[in-house]
């Protein structure tokens, strides 16, 4: 059997799996949308989508507006089976049809339980499990009273604010459609809704419509400043036409009205109306799903890169590089388009920071791979890009909505600080990927079976955590779980006096009890479930990969010199071939006789990244302090974000110094690199979202 057969089979299997899961089924269209579903295909939305709306302190296209409003209310960019603009129109003109359709998303389970507590069993179960309420349910006086009561509770206020946003869109969307500028207005002056422009119509027109100016003013507010009756008629008329056409199902009428609006609105105040190219860019950006689908290329590239690493073949390496270039091009297109639309470097929120930093990390890794061709950079780059884009598409709150930047963040020094910090974070993740490869290889070489068993023990700990979390729903059992965790600690301590299999067993059992018991007994259920699941997946993957590595080692023929085979070298020769960029810290060459060469190469690549991280992170932190000094009058305030950025840097300082005093330098470096990555992740995610501080906006 050829040594590379398992690798080929593995690659083929993974490719098949990706193809099978590429397409995900969407939800069924609502019955209330039937009317709009007939209209939607008959309308050409191209010109309409470029109408500008002033919303959220920004000028955006009607298409963006529609997507954002539907996301606020429904959690997706459009209602099922409809385009975003058709969803918007249907909600603007036929909202009553949806009054009993579960379309308003209440994201937080706690709120859903509070809101539905008084409802019949069926409604309660549906709301809690599906997270959707009907507009009628949301308008229930009891629900409103609960919302009012809950928003005074600090821990609930953020969730209630989200629910209120959804409620506002559901009940008063028409008040946000500010598409009418005032002639001669400044760029910051407010725009108005077409309804409000009705008060600008001439007396004759108002009389013909059977209404009075006073009545309109009392309903919609004062007239639009400076808007002539003729221009008002040119706006109000088509708007009414769209409304009537939509209600009557007359697509031609709707189209005519929309086209008329798209023609007249940019001419009212051309000096403040965004350029067509900018509006088109925005429409394209959203239409392309913010380019986050580039993760598919990164994912494929990651598999190919692992293949290249395992086999040391040139073909998969070349394929991996091509995929990396393709993925980075898609990735870069998204960043560049966003930059153009916003008119500023896109590093102002979580989405922009994650996506932007990952691209910088990928670019540095690409250059590293071109220079050194050791495959580690390639694997790291694909993993970094994949994680960033998949987070951007599925996880990060807000889903990458285009937003304004706070005035205080609009500063050159701060941009440099941010770019440096987030780039170093991307490199930290890249380094951690290389560190994990190193750890995998190190333990595969030194104690393969033990490594595989450790993976299985971790997976078992995960299973136990999941089971214990379910049991801990009852407070009495939660205390029992804490007891189990403490007992596990005793077992771990006692294992010190054991030896051989008994010691290993005690360590495994103790570890499982400590992890599962303490996590399930003390942490919130969501966190405990997440931890359990992560442990199961990572433990199993680790055990499986180690198992595959063991098989590969046994099948490998020494003459083929695959990467994972033992191939020690002379320390002096190794030292001579060490890249200059790996820095001045001592290398692991003294271990040359006992470790495979590829692990030495891995350690070098790791050091190349870590050296960059060390300097970039430090300079980034310091530039942040410089900015804080001239912005807040103090360079350092011991804000949690600052402290944990410094802590991350301290970990790398310890890492560098430990290379001078430890024997297994590569191993220590790898573990500390993983620890640094965890610290960085804690800082970026946990501190941002759960610890209130000066950087809560970041």
Partner 1 sequence: MDQPEPLPSRPAQPGRGLLDRLGRVGFGMSVLTIILVYASFGSALPQVRGALEMTEMQVFRHWLFTGLILLFTLSLVIATWRRIRWNVINLGVLTVHAGLLLMIGGALLYFATKIEGDLLLLSPRFQVVRDNGQAIPGGEFAARAGESWSRNMPALGGSVRLEVIEIENGDMRGVTGATVAVTHAGVTDTIRVPGDGSAVPIHDQLRLQVQNFAPTSNFYDNETAGLYYRAVDEPDLLVSAVPGLPYYRERYLDLGPELKDRSGRPVPSKRSNPTLQLGSGGPTIPTGWFEPWRLPIPVTLGKAPFTATVTGYLPYVAGYSEQPVDGGPAENPAAMLALSFGGDTRSSWLLAREPARSVFQAGVPIEFRWVAEAAERDDLFRPLIATHELTVEVLDADFSQAFAVHSGQSLEIEAGGYTLEIDQLIPAWPLVSPGFEGATSSVAMVNVTRGGTTFSRTVIERFPHLTQDIDADGVRLRTGLLDDNIRLTYRSTPRGRLLLVAGPDLAPQLGTFDPSGSLEVTDLPVGTRRAVQFSGVELDVSLPALYSHAVTSRTPVVEDLERRRPNVGRQFSAVRVELQGLGEHAGWSETHWLPFSTYPHVDARPITVRPPGSPKAYELLYSRLRRDLGAEVAPDSLQVTFFPGRRSVESWFSSFFVRHNGQVRAGTVQTNDTFAVGRWTLFQSGAAQDHWSFTILGVGNRRGILTMVLGCVLITLGCTYAFYVKPVLLRRRQATGRRRRETAANLPEAIKA
Tell me which residues touch partner 1 (CB under 8 A).
54-55, 57-59, 152-155, 178, 187-191, 404, 406-408, 410-411, 414, 575-576, 578, 580-584, 611, 614-615, 618-619, 622, 626-627, 629-640, 643-644, 646-647, 650-651, 653-654, 657-658, 660-661, 686-687, 691-692
Which residues fall within 8 angstroms of residue 489, CB to CB, at 6 or more apart?
510, 514
Check if the beta carbon of residue 455 is closer than 8 Å to that of residue 543.
yes
Shortest distance in whole angstroms from residue 693 CB to partner 1: 8
- Please, which residue, 156 or 564, has the CB nearer to partner 1? 156
Shortest distance in whole angstroms from residue 161 CB to partner 1: 14
532 half-sphere exposure, CB direction, 13 A CA radius: 23
Shortest distance in whole angstroms from residue 25 CB to partner 1: 39
List Cα–Cα distances, 683 to 358, 422, 687, 691, in angstroms: 17, 11, 5, 10
DSSP annotation of 54: E
Shortest distance in whole angstroms from residue 675 CB to partner 1: 10
Query: Residue 402 in 3-state DSSP?
Result: coil
- Please, which residue, 223 or 334, has the CB nearer to partner 1? 223
Shortest distance in whole angstroms from residue 665 CB to partner 1: 13
Element (H, E) at 57: none
Q: Which residues on adjacent β-strands are paired with residue 133?
A: 104
Which residues fall within 8 angstroms of residue 614, CB to CB, at 6 or more apart?
649, 652, 653, 656
Shortest distance in whole angstroms from residue 138 CB to partner 1: 23
Count the neighbouring beta carbons within 10 Å of the beta carbon of residue 121.
Answer: 8
- Please, which residue, 197 or 324, has the CB nearer to partner 1? 197
Shortest distance in whole angstroms from residue 408 CB to partner 1: 5
Work out the angle at residue 282's Cα, subtended by the Cα atoms of residues 276 and 288, and round it to the nearest 5 degrees.
130
Shortest distance in whole angstroms from residue 55 CB to partner 1: 8
CA distance 629 to 417: 13
- Please, which residue, 340 or 636, has the CB nearer to partner 1? 636
Helices 276-287, 314-342: axis angle to 10 degrees equals: 140
Sign of CA dihedral 265, 268, 269, 271: positive
Shortest distance in whole angstroms from residue 573 CB to partner 1: 12
Check if the beta carbon of residue 135 is closer than 8 Å to that of residue 99.
yes
Shortest distance in whole angstroms from residue 627 CB to partner 1: 8
- Please, which residue, 86 or 679, has the CB nearer to partner 1? 679
Shortest distance in whole angstroms from residue 173 CB to partner 1: 17
- Please, which residue, 40 or 55, has the CB nearer to partner 1? 55
- CB-based burial label for 553 (10 Å; 0-12, 13-18, 19+): middle
CA distance 610 to 553: 30
Helices 412-471, 475-494: axis angle to 10 degrees equals: 100
- Please, which residue, 386 or 627, has the CB nearer to partner 1? 627
- Please, which residue, 333 or 622, has the CB nearer to partner 1? 622
- Please, which residue, 19 or 154, has the CB nearer to partner 1? 154
Shortest distance in whole angstroms from residue 166 CB to partner 1: 19
- Please, which residue, 501 or 580, has the CB nearer to partner 1? 580
Count the neighbouring beta carbons within 10 Å of the beta carbon of residue 453.
Answer: 15
Two tokens, residue 551: 């098989």
CA distance 614 to 619: 9
First-residue to last-residue Cα distance in the chain: 54
- Please, which residue, 207 or 570, has the CB nearer to partner 1? 570
Two tokens, residue 416: 């440099």
- Please, which residue, 136 or 657, has the CB nearer to partner 1? 657
Shortest distance in whole angstroms from residue 568 CB to partner 1: 21
- The phi, psi pair for 2, rounded to 5°, reads -70, 145
- Please, which residue, 550 or 691, has the CB nearer to partner 1? 691
CA distance 687 to 388: 18
Question: How many residues does the structure list for the chain?
Answer: 698
- Please, which residue, 137 or 603, has the CB nearer to partner 1? 603
Burial 513-532 (b: 16+ CB within 10 A, else e): bbbbbbbbbebeeeebbebb
Two tokens, residue 578: 């060490």
Shortest distance in whole angstroms from residue 57 CB to partner 1: 3
- Please, which residue, 9 or 654, has the CB nearer to partner 1? 654
Query: Residue 460 in 3-state DSSP?
Result: helix
Output the 3-class SS for 585-645: CCCCHHHCCCCCHHHHHHHHHHHHHHHHHHHHHHHHHHHHHHHHHHHHCCCCCCCHHHHHH
Which residues fall within 8 angstroms of residue 268, CB to CB, at 6 or more apart?
180, 181, 182, 183, 227, 231, 235
Two tokens, residue 150: 């809950």
CA distance 147 to 162: 11
- Please, which residue, 48 or 645, has the CB nearer to partner 1? 645
CA distance 169 to 279: 23
CA distance 428 to 648: 10
Shortest distance in whole angstroms from residue 619 CB to partner 1: 6
Check if the beta carbon of residue 176 is closer than 8 Å to that of residue 208.
no
Shortest distance in whole angstroms from residue 183 CB to partner 1: 16
- Please, which residue, 311 or 349, has the CB nearer to partner 1? 349
Shortest distance in whole angstroms from residue 402 CB to partner 1: 13
Burial 163-190 (b: 16+ CB within 10 A, else e): beebbebbeebeebbbbbbbbebeeeee
């Amino acid at each position: 059997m050829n040594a590379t057969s398992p690798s080929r089979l593995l690659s083929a299997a993974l490719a098949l799996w990706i193809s099978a899961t590429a397409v995900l089924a969407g939800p069924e269209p609502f019955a209330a949308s039937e009317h709009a579903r007939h209209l939607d295909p008959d309308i050409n939305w191209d010109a309409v989508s470029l109408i500008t709306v002033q919303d959220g302190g920004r000028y955006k296209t009607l298409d963006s507006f529609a997507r954002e409003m539907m996301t606020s209310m429904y959690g997706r960019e459009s209602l099922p089976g409809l385009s975003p603009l058709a969803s918007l129109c249907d909600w603007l003109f036929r909202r009553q049809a949806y009054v009993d359709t579960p379309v308003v998303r209440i994201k937080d389970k706690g709120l859903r339980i509070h809101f539905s507590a008084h409802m019949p069993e069926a409604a309660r179960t549906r709301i809690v499990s599906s997270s959707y309420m009907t507009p009628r349910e949301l308008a229930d006086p009891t629900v409103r009273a609960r919302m009012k009561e809950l928003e005074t509770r600090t821990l609930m206020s953020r969730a209630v604010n989200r629910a209120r946003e959804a409620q506002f869109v559901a009940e008063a969307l028409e008040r946000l459609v500010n598409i009418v500028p005032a002639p001669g207005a400044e760029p910051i002056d407010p725009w108005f809704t077409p309804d409000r422009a009705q008060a600008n119509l001439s007396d004759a027109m108002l009389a013909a419509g059977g209404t009075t100016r006073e009545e309109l003013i009392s309903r919609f507010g004062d007239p639009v400043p400076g808007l002539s009756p003729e221009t008002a008629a040119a706006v109000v008329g088509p708007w009414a036409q769209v409304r009537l056409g939509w209600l009557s199902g007359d697509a031609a009428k709707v189209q005519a009205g929309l086209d008329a609006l798209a023609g007249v609105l940019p001419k009212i105040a051309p000096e403040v109306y965004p350029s067509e190219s900018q509006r088109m860019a925005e429409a394209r950006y959203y239409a392309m799903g913010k380019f986050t689908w580039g993760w598919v290329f990164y994912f494929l590239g990651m598999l190919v890169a692992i293949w290249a690493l395992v086999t040391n073949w040139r073909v998969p390496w070349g394929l991996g590089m091509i995929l990396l270039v393709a993925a980075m091009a898609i990735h870069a297109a998204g960043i560049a388009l966003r930059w153009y639309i916003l008119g500023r470097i896109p590093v102002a929120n979580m989405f922009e920071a994650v996506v932007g930093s990952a691209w910088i990390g990928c670019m540095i890794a690409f250059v590293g791979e071109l220079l050194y061709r050791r495959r580690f950079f390639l694997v790291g780059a694909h993993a970094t890009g994949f994680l960033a884009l998949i987070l951007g598409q599925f996880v990060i709150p807000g889903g990458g909505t285009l937003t304004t930047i706070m005035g205080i963040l609009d500063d050159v020094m701060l941009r440099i600080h941010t770019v440096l910090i987030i780039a170093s974070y991307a490199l930290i993740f890249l380094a951690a990927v290389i560190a994990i490869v190193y750890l995998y290889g190190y333990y595969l070489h030194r104690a393969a079976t033990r490594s595989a068993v450790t993976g299985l023990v971790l997976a078992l700990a995960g299973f136990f955590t999941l089971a214990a979390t379910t049991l801990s729903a009852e407070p009495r059992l939660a205390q029992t779980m804490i007891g189990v965790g403490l007992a596990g600690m005793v077992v771990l301590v006692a294992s010190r006096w054991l030896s051989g299999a008994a010691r290993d067993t005690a360590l495994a059992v103790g570890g499982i009890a400590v992890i599962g018991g303490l996590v399930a007994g003390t942490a919130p259920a969501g966190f405990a479930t997440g931890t359990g699941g992560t442990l199961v997946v990572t433990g199993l993957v680790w055990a499986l990969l180690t198992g595959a590595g063991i098989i590969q080692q046994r099948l490998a023929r020494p003459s083929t010199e695959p990467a994972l085979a033992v191939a020690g070298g002379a320390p002096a020769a190794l030292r001579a071939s060490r890249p200059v960029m790996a820095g001045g810290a001592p290398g692991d060459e003294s271990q040359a006789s006992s470790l495979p060469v590829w692990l030495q190469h891995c350690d070098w690549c790791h050091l190349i990244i870590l050296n960059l991280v060390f300097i970039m992170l430090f300079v980034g932190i310091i530039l942040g302090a410089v900015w804080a000094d001239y912005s807040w009058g103090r360079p350092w305030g011991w804000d949690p974000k600052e402290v944990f950025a410094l802590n991350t840097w301290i970990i790398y300082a310890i890492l560098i110094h430990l290379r001078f005093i430890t024997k297994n330098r590569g191993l220590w470096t790898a573990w500390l690199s993983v620890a640094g990555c965890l610290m960085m992740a804690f800082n970026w995610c946990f501190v941002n979202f759960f610890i209130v501080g000066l950087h809560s906006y970041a």
